[in-house]
Structure 1
Amino acid sequence: MRSISALVLLSAALAATGCASLRDTPPAPVEQALRQAGVPASSLAVVAFPMDAPEGGWRMNADRPMAPASTMKTITAVVALDRLGPNSRGQTQLLAAGEIRDGRLEGPLVLKGGGDADLDWGALWMMLREVRERHGVRELAGGIVVDRGLFQPARPEIGAPRFDEQAEFPYNVIPDALHLNGSLLQFDLASDERGVTARPFPQFGALAVDTSGMRLNDKPCKDWDDGWMPSRFEVLPGGAARVALAGEFPRGCQAVQALNVLDRQWETAQALRQLWGSLGGTLGGEVREGSAPQGARVLAQHRDRPLAELLRPIMKASDNALARLLFLRLGASAAQPGEDTQQAAARVVREWFASQRLDATGLVLENGAGLSRVERATASQLAGLLLASAKGPHGPELLATLPVAGVDGTLARRFKGSAAEGRARMKTGTLRDVVALAGFVPDASGKTWIVVAVVNDEQAMKARPAIDALVDWVASH
C-alpha cells in the first residue's frame, strides 16, 4: 500500500508541475528553432525538471557524453566549494632562506606561488615593500628564487599545444602556481599610415617590441584582432629581450590589450629587479626558478579573494584562466608526491561524483574550464550536479555566481523581454561547435527547474535560439 500511495503522490506532484509524464521530444518552439537552424534534434542533449519532482520533466539524449564548453565550469565550481570550502584562498609568500644581518639577507629571498588569483604588480610591490621596511632588508645577497612547485608540472605552458590562433589572449592563458598578473602584460597598440606601434605597460627591463612584421588592413577598428598572428619572443645577450608581433592591424586605430607574449620567468625576473630597486634595495644574485629551502620563514604574504567571491568572474564572465587555476588548486589539495596536478583534480571530481551517487560514466576532465576539445559531460551529470549543489550547504554561494538572464555576465544581452529575464540563473558555454546552458529557471508558478541543454554540431551557433526557446518555454509555463 505504501508503494501505491507513493506513486499516487508522485503522479499528483508531476501533474501539479505540468509534467505528469517524462517527455523525450522537444516542445514545439524548440523543434521549430532547430528546423530553422538546420540542426537535427540528435545534436541536442537536454535534461529539464522541477527541483521538487526530478523524476519528471524532459530528457533527450540525456546520457550522451557531450562537449560541454564552459558549462564544465559548474563542475569545477561545485566540487571546489564542497572540497575546498567557500572561504578557501590562494596565497603568495616571500620567504627568507637565511639570516638577516645589518640589512643583508644572506640566503635567497623566495617568491613562492600558492595559486593566488589576485597577485598583480601592485600586490607584489607591496610584499617587497614589507620585506624592505618591516624587516629592514636592503640587500638580497643570495638572489631570488621563484618557486612554482605547488602544481606539477611547474611550467605547464611550456610545450603545450595552442588551442587556437589566439593563444596569446587572456582566455587562453595556462596558469601556474605563481600566476603573476595573470601571466599578462598590457600593450597600447596604435597605427597610422606608417605602420603599427606597440608600447608595453608597465615597461619591465630592456624589452624591445618589433612591429615591423605587422601589416595594415582596412577593417573596422572593432575587428582589430581578426588578423592577429602568434608572436615570437627571444632573450638577447645581456638579459634584454625582444618580442616580434605579427599579423594585421587596421590603419588609423587604437587598442589596449593584455597579452601573454613574454616568457613568464623572464617577465617575473624583470619585475622583481625593477620593483626591488625602486624600493632602494640591491640584488646581489640571480633571479632563478627553484624550490623553497627547508626552514625558510615567511616575511610577507598576500592572499586572494575567498573562493565564493572568486567564483563570480569564473562563472559570470566565464574566466578560463581563473577556472583552470581553481581546478589546479583542487588537484593540489589532494595530489600525491609527484602526481600530475590536473590528473589529481580529475580524481577529486570523480570521488565527489561517487560521494553524491552520481554516475560519472563518460565524464572526461582536462582543465576544468571547458576550453578543451576532449572534455565531456552528459546533460544528466550536469543536472545531477546542480541538484546536489542546490540541496547542499553551498547552494546559495553557487547561485550567486551564475549569470542572470538579461542582466549580467555572459547572459547580459540574452533573454531580454522574455519570461526568463531577471529570473533564470545559468552558466553559458560556447565553442566553435558547441552551445550550452546549465542552471536554474523559475517557471510561471514560481517553481524552480534545473535546465541543462547542450548542442554539439557544426552549426551549433545557429541552434542557440533553440536553447533559448527551451529556457523561455520553461519560464513561461
Structure 2
Amino acid sequence: MALTVAVCTGATQAQSKSAGCDSAVLAKTGSGECSALSKQIADVLSAPAVARAHWGIVVTAMDGSPIYAMNEGQLFQPASNTKLFTTATALAVLGPEATFETKVVARGKFNGAANLAGDIVIVGGGDANLSGREMPYVPPAQRPKAAPGQQPPPGPPALRYLEEMADQVAKTGLKVVNGDIVGDDTLYPWEPYPEDWSIDDAVWGYGAPVSALTINDNQIKVTVSPGSAAGQPAVVAVDPIFPYYTIDSAALTTGPVKSGSHVQIERDPGARVLRIYGSIAVDAHPDEEELAIHDPAEYAAAALKVMLEAHGIVVTGTARAQHRLSTDSRSYMQASHEPIPNIDFSRQYSPAKSTQQGEVVLAQHQSPVLIEDMVVTNKVSQNLHAEMFLHNAGAAVLGDGSTVNGARVVRAFLEHAGVDKDDYVFFDGSGLSGHDLVTPRATARLLQYAATQPWFADWKRSLPVGGEDGSLVERFGKAPLKDHVFAKTGTLGEARALSGYLDCASGKTVIFSIMVSAHTPRSNVDREAMDRIVGLIAAAN
C-alpha cells in the first residue's frame, strides 16, 4: 500500500522526516512525498507536553505493506507489550487446549491407609489459576450488576481448589502424617524475580514472585476500613483469612471527616510482617490493596496443613517449601541467545510434569484450558500469568522451566516468524523488567505473522477491545473507535506502548505499534497523544 500523498508535495527526505515520515518507508513505497497522516501525526507530537519524549510508530497493512513509520527500527521499553510476544509463543508451542495439573502426593511409606511415615507434598504443575477467579473472562458490560446501595455478591473463595484437594486427601482415609507438608515448585528453578524487576514492585500483587506452585495469584488482599469514630483504630481485614503474615497496625488510625485516605504498607524483603500505618477518614471508602506472598510454595504448604488438620488429620511435622536452585552460570545474554536445535513449530508440545518414583497420588486438580487463561492475561495485563507462560514454554520444549529457557523458546519462535533477531531482547515474560527492549517494527511483524496462523482468532480475542474491556475499557469509548481497537497496552515508569489491530474508516484493518519512552513522569499527556494518533490512523486508512 502506497503512502497517501497530500501536503508536502515534492518534499525532500529530510523535510519528510521532520514531518514524521521515515525515510525507510519512503524508500519502500517509492514515494518522496510525505502524507497527510504524517503531517497530522507530526502536529500531535510537536505539542510541548510530548515533544521531548522519544516516539516510535509503525503502521502496516495486514499483509505487512508499509503505510507509515517513524523510528520504527529503534529500541523502546515495551512494558506489557512484551506479553504479545510471550503469549503468541505459548499459544504456538503449547496450543489453546493445553492444561496444567496440580497434585497432592504421598512420599514415604504407608502403614495401612491411615498412617504415613513421610511427607505430603503439593506439587505445582504451572497452573496459574488455583484461585477464586471465575473463568472464562466476562467483559465488564456483561457482568451482573449489584442492586443500588448493595455490594456485588462475593466471588468463589480464593483457596477453593486447595480445599477441594484437601477433601480428596481426607477421603483416602489418611489419619496421621509422620512428616511434613511440602510445597514443591521444582518444575521451575527458584527464580522468583527476573532481572531488573524493581524492588518497589515486590511488595505488591502485580510484582508477585514467579512459582510453579501459584496460589491466588501469589497475593493476598488487605482491606483497611475506618473505625467507628475519628481517633479510633482503623480496621484491617485479610483475604484469604490465613495466618501467614503478621500485621503491625499500631500506627494506623481513623481520621476526621474529609481527611482522606493516607494508608501506607511496608514489608521488608523476605519478611513475614506487614507494617500498615497512616490514617483513613471516618467517611472514606475502604482502601483495598493486593500484596504479594513472598514464598508461594511455603504459603500453599502452610494452608494445606491447616486444611488437613481441620479434617482431623494429625501432622507431626511442619509446613515448608521445596525449591530447586538454578545451576546455570552463563550470562543471561549468552544463554538466552543460544539456538534450540530441532525445535518444531508444526507441532504442539505437552506441558511438562514433575514426578518422583514411588510417590502415591492422593489428590489432583486440572487447570482451565490455556486460551482462557491467556484471555485473562492479556485483557487485564496479568504479570504473573505471563511469566508462567514463559516458564511453561521453556519446560515443555526444553524440559526445564527457567526464565532463560523460556526466553530461548520466544527467540526461536520470533526467528521462525521472521522477526529480525536484533530487534528485541526479553528478560522476562511480562514486561516488568527494565532491560526488555523491542522495536515497533518487530511488534508489527509479530502481529502480521500471527494473523496468518491457525491460532490467530483465539489470540486476537485475548486482546483488550477499545471502550469495551480489559485495559482499554476506559479508552476509545466513542464512535468510530469503540469496539474497533484490538490492542495490548503497556506502561512502565516513563515508557508506554500500544500495539494491535485497528478497523479503519475504509473498512480495512491495519496493524499499528506506538511506543514512547522518556515521557514526563506521572503524566498522561503521552497516552492522550497516543490515542489521538490512533484516531488519525483510523481516519486516514
TM-score by length of 2: 0.76
* Change beyond 3 A, Cα 1:69–1:37: farther
Report the equivalent of 1:442. Answer: 503
Mapping 1:415-426, distance limit 5 Å: 415-426=476-487
- Indicate yes or no: 2:188 matched with 1:144: no
- Please give the alpha-carbon distance, in whole angstroms, between the structure 1 residues aligned to 2:513 and 2:269: 43
Aligned-residue offset at 1:212: 1.8
| Maintained 8 Å contact 1:330/1:348 | yes
| Maintained 8 Å contact 1:109/1:144 | yes
Amino acid at match of 1:58: Y
| Maintained 8 Å contact 1:65/1:377 | yes
- Please give the alpha-carbon distance, in whole angstroms, between the structure 1 residues aligned to 2:266 and 2:245: 18
Report the equivalent of 1:367. Answer: 428
Q: 431-440 or 328-337: which moved more?
A: 328-337
Report the equivalent of 2:233. Answer: 195
Report the equivalent of 1:3. Answer: none
- Please give the alpha-carbon distance, in whole angstroms, between the structure 2 residues aligned to 1:195 and 1:166: 28
**Structure 2 unaligned residues grouped into runs of 5+:** 7-24, 132-158, 324-354
SS in 1 for 2:200: coil
Aligned-residue offset at 1:65: 1.0
Aligned-residue offset at 1:336: 5.6
- Please give the alpha-carbon distance, in whole angstroms, between the structure 2 residues aligned to 1:268 and 1:321: 16
Aligned-residue offset at 1:37: 4.7
Report the equivalent of 1:230. Answer: 266
- Please give the alpha-carbon distance, in whole angstroms, between the structure 1 residues aligned to 2:503 and 2:196: 42
Q: 2:106 aligns with which of 78, 84, 96?
A: 96
- Indicate yes or no: 2:364 matched with 1:305: no
Q: 1:322 aligns with which of 368, 381, 385?
A: 385
* Change beyond 3 A, Cα 1:367–1:213: farther
Report the equivalent of 2:163. Answer: 125
Mapping 1:275-314, distance limit 5 Å: 275-290=307-322, 293-314=356-377
| Maintained 8 Å contact 2:182/2:301 | no
**Structure 1 unaligned residues grouped into runs of 5+:** 1-12, 236-241
Amino acid at match of 2:65: E
- Indicate yes or no: 2:125 matched with 1:114: yes
Aligned-residue offset at 1:92: 0.9
Report the equivalent of 1:4. Answer: none
Report the equivalent of 1:356. Answer: 417
Report the equivalent of 1:9. Answer: none
- Please give the alpha-carbon distance, in whole angstroms, between the structure 1 residues aligned to 2:532 and 2:257: 34
Amino acid at match of 2:299: E
Report the equivalent of 2:288. Answer: 256
| Maintained 8 Å contact 1:233/1:261 | no
- Please give the alpha-carbon distance, in whole angstroms, between the structure 2 residues aligned to 1:77 and 1:180: 21
- Please give the alpha-carbon distance, in whole angstroms, between the structure 1 residues aligned to 2:67 and 2:407: 30
* Change beyond 3 A, Cα 1:427–1:122: same
Task: Write out per-residue CA displacement over residues 220-260 of structure 1, whole angstroms, 9 at most, x where no aligned residue.
Answer: 79x84x7534224888xxxxxx6241453433242333322
Report the equivalent of 1:475. Answer: 538
* Change beyond 3 A, Cα 1:234–1:84: closer
Task: Write out per-residue CA displacement over residues 340-378 of structure 1, whole angstroms, 9 at most, x where no aligned residue.
Answer: 711111111111112122212041211111112110111
SS in 2 for 1:186: strand
| Maintained 8 Å contact 1:363/1:376 | yes
Report the equivalent of 1:58. Answer: 68
Task: Write out per-residue CA displacement over residues 114-157 of structure 1, whole angstroms, 9 at most, x where no aligned residue.
Answer: 11111131101101211211x222222233222111111x2525
| Maintained 8 Å contact 1:92/1:301 | yes
* Change beyond 3 A, Cα 1:351–1:202: closer
- Please give the alpha-carbon distance, in whole angstroms, between the structure 2 residues aligned to 1:453 and 1:218: 45
- Please give the alpha-carbon distance, in whole angstroms, between the structure 1 residues aligned to 2:125 and 2:203: 23
SS in 2 for 1:407: coil
TM-score by length of 1: 0.86
- Please give the alpha-carbon distance, in whole angstroms, between the structure 2 residues aligned to 1:336 and 1:265: 21
Larger helix fraction of residues: 1
* Change beyond 3 A, Cα 1:219–1:419: farther
Report the equivalent of 1:273. Answer: 305
Task: Write out per-residue CA displacement over residues 387-409 of structure 1, whole angstroms, 9 at most, x where no aligned residue.
Answer: 11110111101110111111111
Amino acid at match of 2:444: A
- Please give the alpha-carbon distance, in whole angstroms, between the structure 2 residues aligned to 1:284 and 1:404: 52
Aligned-residue offset at 1:16: 9.7
Q: 1:181 aligns with which of 207, 216, 241?
A: 216
Task: Write out per-residue CA displacement over residues 79-130 of structure 1, whole angstroms, 9 at most, x where no aligned residue.
Answer: 1110111112222111122344142233322210111111131101101211
* Change beyond 3 A, Cα 1:37–1:296: farther
* Change beyond 3 A, Cα 1:162–1:60: closer
Aligned-residue offset at 1:185: 2.1
Q: 1:70 aligns with which of 68, 80, 98?
A: 80
The size of the alignment, in residue pairs, is 451
Report the equivalent of 1:7. Answer: none
| Maintained 8 Å contact 2:195/2:435 | no
- Please give the alpha-carbon distance, in whole angstroms, between the structure 1 residues aligned to 2:270 and 2:402: 29
